[in-house]
Structure 1
Amino acid sequence: MESILGVVKRNIEQNLKNNYTATITLALSIDDNGNPKNFEQIAQQILSNNNYIDAVQLVPNGVIKYTYPTKGNEAAMNFDILHSPLHRQAALKAIKTKSIYFSGPVQLKQGGFGVVGRLPIFKKDKFWGFSAVIVKFKTLIKSTGIPSFKKGKFYFQLSKINPLTNKEEFFLENKSDLKEKNFKKVEIPEGDWTLYIIPKETNHLLSFSPLIGIAFLLSSLCGIFTTTLLRRPSELQQLVEKQTRKIAESEFLFKSIFEHAGLGIIHTNSNDGTFIETNDKFCELIGYSQEEIKEMNFMMITHPDDLGEDLENMKKLRKGEIDQFSMEKRYFHKNGNIIWARITISPLWKANDSSNSHIAIIEDISKRKETEKEILESKQKVNDIIDSIDGIVWEGGSKEPGVNFVSKKAEAILGYTPEEWIADKMFWRKMIHPDDRDWVVEYSDKCAHNQTPFDFEYRMIHKNGNVVWVRDIVSVYRTEQNSTRFRGILIDITKSKQFEIDLNNSLKLVTEQNKRLLNFSHIVSHNLRSHTSNIESLINLIEISEDENERNEMLSLLKSVSETLSQTMNNLNEVVSIQTNINPVVEQLNLNKYITKTIEVLHNQIIKNEVKIDNSVSDTTTIYFNPAYLESILLNFLSNSIRYRHPDKKPEIKLRSYSENNYIVLEISDNGIGIDLKKNGKKLFGLYKTFTKNIESRGIGLFITKNQVDTMKGKIEVESTLNEGTTFKIYFNNAAKENLHH
């Protein structure tokens, strides 16, 4: 009973697998937009290749829209299964398990009695609908092989728990109570069915009353005793005939299973691999006839890449190390094609006996393998497309940091492998440039919390230490479990960003130069006009004057104006030389050494005016600057501190230096007359701007000094109080060492 039940169960499972393949084939005909392609042709091919499927359907959003064949199934069109109490529960179970589930046997909408296998389809992580197969109940029973056992000693029963009444329903003949029956049963989870096998004959014990039994026993003892010897030969003959019938029935049963099974079955010599007997299903599978098969062994038709594993398993089976084994292997069809099969090998010898032969059950899994291959190829194509994108494609959650997918482009752009990204949940945050990390993390967390897409630019650190500018474009999507996830692409924009930075720097430089040029043109226009006007007036006076003394006096004035013009031209030339020298020579200079040199140049003025100088600048302080500019700057500031000394105080000048961010700062403080910054602060560094009545003031020194410091990308700050003194802070840019020239 168990053997027969196992065969029927395998037939059912094989049929259900064929139905599963059919539903997958239908599902693959739906494009990414959810539209079926060539439904009629594909459905026709499915039915022509499978005699145990009566119809196929596509059920978008739970509503039957496509049916083949249409004839005879018109009543099922536009039927909403998700709103039908009879079908809804089975449909929801298929969606929940994401696998095929068979509802029924049930009364079909188009008429008749049958089962419906529904495979849920998901497109872009959203439920699309079902692909379905309809198998009439008679067709299902025929595919199981149950009708071939009607004349035997057993009968079958198929049952299922009704989802509405929660009671067990039986669908085959002989629905009597099974409690008193000596049955065997198996479960078929794809449809939540229970399959029973029950013996037809039932032994009834005769009931005798005690008195009649005793009387019968006493009266029979003598008869039995006297006839035993005479009946012995006859009983032995009957026993032999009975055992012979049992053997014949067993052989007939085995032969029926062997010949009518839906799977390939082969009886094989375990020592040399030759085929003793094969069923028609196996011959159909590999394309050889029974006669051809018997002249071969299993090694001849096994793919060489699978033969080693097969032989190793057989070796273990013969040694008794394993009781049986299963494996997936390839056979060569007679036409040269490769057939994928799943084989299960069971020995036909008892424990401790020598190995002689074994039985192999062969299931054709070529379609499944082809489907798996197509899925793998499709996945590989998607991966190849992702890896070909010129950017790092990534995916991660919205609540916890870290990513669960990073494309291979990550290594080309940032030097780190996808495995390194995924291994550390905080990897992305660690690779953000320190100056950008806080605001980038804060901004991305905010967008994640609000579940909004975002697009922004920031810097990351390459594995080799270089800075890489990236543009991060992030979109939001929801999974089937209703959780929010993010997908993004990091694009390397370093080159374009550097171009943008260079362009902005160039624009700033041009703007500054234009500003200086405009300022310079105003200066030239104003100063030269006044000088030329004076010269023109003096020449006119000389021409009209008749007094020799007056003419000489005019000539003296003309000479003075000419000298002033010459001095003005020299000043303007110096300004031009500074403003046109865009990339002056930069050297590493000892600041204290140049201060000492400047003090020596001003030695006479310092002695004459009793100036006290307090220089606390370290001998080790160095700056990156132009030597000529540094001499000019120190000379201008120190001479100005002496020139604008307070008449009632002995002049004091203090010099000190320190570091501030990327600058070396030199402070020059004096106790002189000071500057009214509220009144004159905006024009402090203007050309020819003076703020005292000192006859030595020309208004050129601070202008030139400011231009020199600006050219070297430094800056000047000033603090001053009238009658108390002034402090100038000169900021020397340490980044200038990048332009160092030896």
Structure 2
Amino acid sequence: MGALVFMVLLSIFMMSIYFRYQAVKESEQRNMSNILNVVKQNIEQTLRNSYVATITLALTIDDSGNPKNFEEVAKRLVSSYNSIDAVQLVPNGVIKYTYPLKGNEAATGFDILNSPLHSKSALKAIENKAIYFSGPVTLKQGGTGVVGRLPVYKKGKFWGFTAVIVRFDTFVNAIGFSQFKSDKYYFQLSKKNPVTNKEEFFLENKADFSNKDYQKVEIPEGDWNLYIIPKNESRLFFEFLPVIAIAFLLSLLSGLLVYTLQKKPLELQKTVKSQTKKLSRNKFLFRSIFDHAGLGIAHNNSIDGSFVDANDKFCELIGYSQDEIRNMDFMMITHPDDLQADLDNMERLRKGEISQYSLEKRYVDKNGKINWVNITVSPLWEKNEKPSNHITIVENINQRKESERLILESQQKIKDLINSIDGVVWEGNSVEPGVTYISKKSEDMLGYTPEEWLADDYFWRKIIHPDDRDWVIERSTEYAKARVPFDTEYRMIHKNGSTIWVRDIVSIYHESKDSIKFRGILIDITKSKQFEIDLNNSLTLVTEQNKRLLNFSHIVSHNLRSHTSNIQSLINLIEMSEDEEEKKELLVLLKSVSEALNETMDNLNEVVSIQTDINPVIEELNLNKFINRTLEVLRNQIVKNNAEIINNISDEVNVNFNPAYLESVLLNFISNSIRYKHPDRDPKIELSSHTEENFKVLEIKDNGIGIDLNKNGDKLFGMYKTFTNNPESRGIGLFITKNQIDTMKGKIEVESKLNEGTTFKIYFR
């Protein structure tokens, strides 16, 4: 029975110890994983800082490929990020600009694309069209370091690289290996050599660890492997050795106890004494474990929170001796801001609502220093028993909290840098719609807060100008499928309803191997676009004026030369003639030619007046009022020709036009409809109006002789162009009318058939 009890108890103890060993081992694995992830985050933060720096440098390069304010921007970047030693611009793969130049002179002019050591990483960055980190490699300027290169494209063509240089010592310090240095683990960083294709290790302690229970993560931006390796895997076993010994002893003692109980009563007293001695020894062993545990342990009264006992590790953490601790309670050393949460959990524990609890809180030590700890509180009473005492296991987490603080500060620096950029920085999905990040500049530029952007996955699509929306979305979708960066200009609608021209520069961000996102910057180019539009309008206006001037010069040259030639010929004939009658006839002809010249000069003067009147007076005019006035002026012609005038225009129709020009236009068109009537029928003129797009249209339709537009359409409004044998035709009316309407930003359209009639459409703005 003694042997059976021994074996059963030993099996139970060993099983419990085994499970505890596995739990501790898993805890250590989790701890290793957590440390490894923190170090990885530090590396990724360093690489993100480098990525932001290269993007910022890329923005200093204008569309012509010339850097702007490189020294100023580079100086700000190097001073902002402690993890960056230098920055470079590398047009066409040749290092041309470096900051700081001092100490890096040897790198200037170095062609990385023709270097066996650097070309593969540079070509990989070009192939992926994303930043790639090479190294650690030997630098041209001396020493070793990590080089991050971002390929830059201008107008769809490869321009070169923006680059950051991080010396290896700076890289190691930025990662923070020293913060996690302990006697339990060590780190190793490796990468495959692009030439030998063998894995190379860069940190100290390069001994083979392949047979150890290590953990690793991959850093795809530089093709690195980061390892965390236990220094002594047998350490954990030796930590459990005292417990195993105690379990063995307890099992053995229990077996002996059963054995002795079966012995004679006379041997019972001797056995009890022996067991008492052994139990005292076991108590000493338990006390030794309690006092020398790697974590702080406190024994508290669960009713008033006072300390019953505490080990040396706990006393070391809070700075009080064990004697001082016994006169205190846990409320006295808990930070006031964390006390209520601790008390609430303790109350739930006493009520049996929870079996134990863990909490991150702050202790204030004897000197007033604040220490962050993670506590785990377990009760020492059985279920349904009255609460009595509890054990508190305390883990110091100051280092982790400091790391978290540094990460938050780094993230805030990035946000501040992004918000200082003169443009809206954004990040979004490449497949599904939706912006996942937008900088605060969005409110300054477009009026919408970041919260409004993120609340609706389709928000960006909704505020694109309707005329640009379809092609912008289609183009973005095409580039998303192709996974290539792009640069485009389009219009967006401001919150106040105004139109804003933006330039959207988009790059690719590889979140993981199978997941990418778009990152971009929206730049307000409204002023430059408006300047471009105004310039094009001015160019169009000048071109049109030049055409008119050239046409006018041809007219002047042709007509005046014709008249002056006739006058010169008549004068010569008069001088040569000796017959008085013949001279009188020639003088009559000379008078007729001079009158024609005078009429031509009047016509040209009127054309010049119209074309040089840059800002004619524009008024809102009632169309019917001017039509009735014109019909009154033409009353004699209307009666004489038995013309029928049908006016279908409402008295409510008004147009914005110059009063004198409107009189001239109406008089010309209506009088022409009467003058060029068909010989076989009385003239019939019909006036009507309607709205077409942004124009008010006046239609004047007649049943006259019509115009052969196939033959004369291109010279219909030319000066001195006539198309009939009517002796009253001068070819000046339509020319002047066309100039007047053009000056008022209107237009004329004509429909006509020979012997059927003509319809003129005058478009008023």
- Answer whether contact 2:188 2:204 (CA < 8 A) is retained: no
Q: Does 1:56 align with 2:170?
A: no
The residue aligned with 1:308 is 340
Tell me by how many angstroms 1:686 deviates: 0.8
Give SS of 2:504's match. Answer: strand
Aligned match for 1:148, one of 242, 248, 255: 242
Q: Does 1:121 align with 2:218?
A: yes
Aligned-pair CA distance for 1:313: 3.1
Q: Does the 8 Å contact 1:393/1:488 carry over to 2?
A: yes
Q: 2:493 aligns with which of 461, 474, 483?
A: 461
Query: What does residue 327 of structure 1 align with?
Result: 359
Equivalent position of 2:231 in the other structure: 135
Contact 2:563 2:593 (8 Å CA) reproduced: yes
Q: From the superposition, tell whether residues 466 and 44 of structure 1 become closer, same or farther in structure 2 (CA, over 3 Å).
A: closer
Does structure 1 retain, via aligned residues, the 8 Å contact 2:39–2:177? no
1:728 matched to 2:747? The reply is no
Deviation larger for 257-266 or 291-300: 291-300
**Aligned AA (2:219):** F
Counterpart of 2:503? 471
Query: Measured at CA, do residues 12 and 331 of structure 1 come closer, stay the same or move farther in structure 2, by a change above 3 Å?
Result: farther
Question: Equivalent residue for 1:669?
Answer: 701
Identity within the alignment, %: 58
Q: Indicate whether 1:515 and 2:547 are aligned.
A: yes
Find 2:462's aligned residue among 430, 433, 440: 430
Secondary structure class of the residue paired with 1:634: helix
CA distance in structure 2 between the partners assigned to 1:44 and 1:602 by the alignment: 98
Counterpart in the other structure of 1:395:
427
Would the alpha carbon gap of residues 260 and 620 (structure 1) be closer, same or farther in structure 2, given more than 3 Å must change? same
Partners of 2:32 and 2:215 within 8 A in 1:
no
Q: 2:474 aligns with which of 426, 431, 442?
A: 442
Counterpart residue type for residue 690 of structure 1: T
Are the counterparts in 2 of residues 614 and 653 from structure 1 also a CA contact under 8 Å?
yes
Residues 139 and 704 (structure 1), Cα distance of their counterparts in 2 relative to 1, 3 Å cut: same
Cα distance between partner residues in 1 of 2:43 and 2:557: 83
Rounded Cα–Cα distance in structure 2 between residues aligned with 1:501 and 1:47: 59
Alpha-carbon offset, residue 250 of structure 1:
5.5
In the alignment, is the contact (CA less than 8 A) between 1:7 and 1:257 conserved in 2?
A: no
Deviations 1:305-342 (A, max 9, x none): 22332233334445555443221012235565432110
Contact 2:212 2:233 (C-alpha < 8 Å) held by counterparts: yes
Q: Which runs of 5+ in 2 are unaligned?
A: 1-12, 48-132, 137-167
> Is the Cα–Cα contact under 8 Å of residues 579 and 711 in structure 1 kept in the other structure?
yes
More displaced, 510-519 or 261-270? 261-270
Amino acid at match of 2:546: N
The answer to whether the aligner puts 1:699 opposite 2:745 as a matched pair is: no
By how many angstroms is 1:271 displaced? 5.1
SS at match of 1:411: helix
**1:238 Cα deviation after fit:** 5.5
Show the 5 A alignment for 1:414-429.
414-429=446-461
Q: Tell me, yes or no, if the aligned pair for 1:410 and 1:418 is still in contact at 8 Å.
A: yes
Aligned length: 627
* 1:576-725 matches, cutoff 5 A: 576-725=608-757
**Local SS of the residue matching 1:136:** coil
Secondary structure of residue in 2 paired with 1:148: helix
Structure 1 segment 270-419 matched on structure 2, within 5 A: 270=302, 273-291=305-323, 293-294=325-326, 296-318=328-350, 322-333=354-365, 336-349=368-381, 356-419=388-451
Q: How does 1:131-280 map to 2 (within 5 A)?
A: 131-142=227-238, 145-149=239-243, 151-154=245-248, 199=251, 231=265, 235=268, 237=269, 241=273, 244-245=276-277, 248=280, 251-270=283-302, 273-280=305-312
Cα distance between partner residues in 1 of 2:179 and 2:528: 59
Name which of structure 1's ranges 278-287 and 516-525 shifts more when overlaid on structure 2: 278-287
Mapping of residues 491-530 of structure 1, within 5 Å: 491-530=523-562
Q: How far does residue 118 in structure 1 lie from its aligned partner after superposition?
A: 1.6
Shift of 1:670: 1.3
Per-residue deviation, residues 592-643 of structure 1 (Å, max 9, x unmatched): 3322222122111001001112222222223222222221111111111111
CA–CA distance in structure 1, aligned partners of residues 184 and 490 of structure 2: 62
Aligned equivalents of 1:517 and 1:397: distance in 2? 57
How many angstroms does 1:457 deviate by?
Answer: 2.3
Secondary structure in 2 matching 1:405? strand
- 2:189–2:224 contact (8 Å) kept in structure 1: no
Quote how far apart the aligned CAs of 1:539 are: 4.5
Measured after TM superposition, the shift of residue 201 of structure 1 is 7.3
Distance 2:175 2:593 in 1: 108
Q: Specify whether residues 365 and 529 from structure 1 end up closer, same or farther in structure 2 by C-alpha distance, changes over 3 A only.
A: same
Q: Distance in 1 between matches of 2:549 and 2:574?
A: 36
1:647-702 deviations in whole A, cap 9, x for unaligned?
Answer: 12211112222222222222212111111212211111111111122121111111
- What CA deviation, in whole Å up to 9, does each residue of 1:144-166 have, x standing for no partner? x22333542339xxxxxxxxxxx
Residue type of the partner of 2:247?
Answer: K
- Structural RMSD (CA): 3.7
2:407 maps to a residue whose letter is I
- State the distance in 2 between where 1:282 and 1:288 align: 9
Distance of aligned partners of 1:241 and 1:574 in 2 relative to their CA distance in 1, 3 Å threshold:
farther
Q: Give the residue type in structure 2 aligned to 1:57.
A: Q
Partner of 2:519: 487
CA 556–293 in structure 1, closer or farther in 2 if over 3 Å, else same = farther
TM-score (norm 2): 0.73
Please say which of residues 509-518 and 25-34 is displaced more in the overlay. 25-34
**5+ residue gaps in structure 1?**
77-107, 156-197, 207-223, 734-742
Q: Which amino acid aligns with 2:217?
A: P
Q: Show the 5 A alignment for 1:553-568.
A: 553-568=585-600
Q: Provide the residue aligned with 2:200 in structure 1.
A: 65
Contact 2:192 / 2:200 at 8 angstroms: preserved in 1? no
Deviation at 1:485, TM superposition (A): 3.9
TM-score by length of 1: 0.75
